[in-house]
Amino acid sequence: MFTIGDFARYGRVSARMLRHYDALGLLRPARTDPDSGYRYYEAAQLARLNRIIALKDLGFSLQQVGAILAEEVSVPELRGMLRLRRAELEAALTAAGARLAQVEARLRTIESEGRMSADDVVVKRTGTVLLAELTGIAAGYGPEDIGPVIQPLYTELCRRLETAGVTSAGPGLAYYEDAPATAAGSEPPTEADERSAGTESGTTPSPGNEAIVVHAGMVITQEALDKAGLPVGDRAATADGRAVTAGADGPGFAVVTLPGLDCAATVVHRGPMSRILPTAQNLAHWIDANGYRSAGYARELYLECPPDQEKWVTELQEPVVRG
């Protein structure tokens, strides 16, 4: 038998907590002295105490813990519950880390306001490229929305290119567009949304819908397609001038002829894309200060993408027109 103090020490809890568990009927003492009222516990009761603490840490209330223990939770079941909770906590940590990265990016943006040199931005034309691409939908245009969508797309695209025997001829190139109109039930558009809404690929984006179509592409050549024995098919022109190869989805990716930009304000970003915000906003300041206005989403040309994302080099290519 152990006194309540000794039992609390072995169980790594407080004696006050043991009294509380006793009052709730969760963990009764093995014996209570009728004269002094002192509580005494047995070593075998540590197993029940461990289950109480584990279930409590899983997020269950003490009332729920009592109900679960009454059903005699087995060790495998408890282990499964603990693993589930661990996965939830790991996901929460990942989400918190992503939010922290966004906070840091906002702070860098604030700290770098007004420091960008005009020499950092180059206005130029970009050439037409042939892309192998996969597409996905992101909830918004923020890095926290784009990252979880575009990274798996590129992983899968590279796998499918390798399977098809197609060797890329250049860096990755990502571009974006508003998602098509959604069904009824979306929020009513604001006046600003009405002004910014346009047409894309024959559909009208929903002004109240902030979803973005993510195009993850790799530069390829016609020679690489021919060498891999992939059919080209007929080219179907889209509203924005892209030419999508019909019938080339056999290997699991589309082949797209992406027109160049007649006038693009470009700037090089160094580091992970999760910290793109300061670079993108500095580019916006430059565009505004030099008499231009944006003509669409910026493209992202991934010049260098080593395993260490701190060494990534990405060129932003934002289409612009004279204001």
102-117 pLDDT, tens digit per residue, is 777 667 666 666 555 5
CB-CB contact of 262 with 246 (8 Å): no
Radius of gyration of the chain from its Cα atoms, rounded to whole angstroms: 30
SS3 14: coil
The per-residue pLDDT for 184 is: 38
HEC profile of 64-131: HHHHHHHCCCCHHHHHHHHHHHHHHHHHHHHHHHHHHHHHHHHHHHHHHCCCCCHHHCEEECCCCEEE
Q: Which positions ≥6 away from 56 have C-beta within 8 Å?
A: 62, 65
Query: Could you identify the residue written with the tokens 């009052």?
Result: 23
CB-CB contact of 318 with 283 (8 Å): yes
Q: Which positions ≥6 away from 53 have C-beta within 8 Å?
A: 11, 13
pLDDT-flagged residues of the chain (< 70): 73, 105-106, 108-119, 182-209, 231-251
The per-residue pLDDT for 88 is: 84
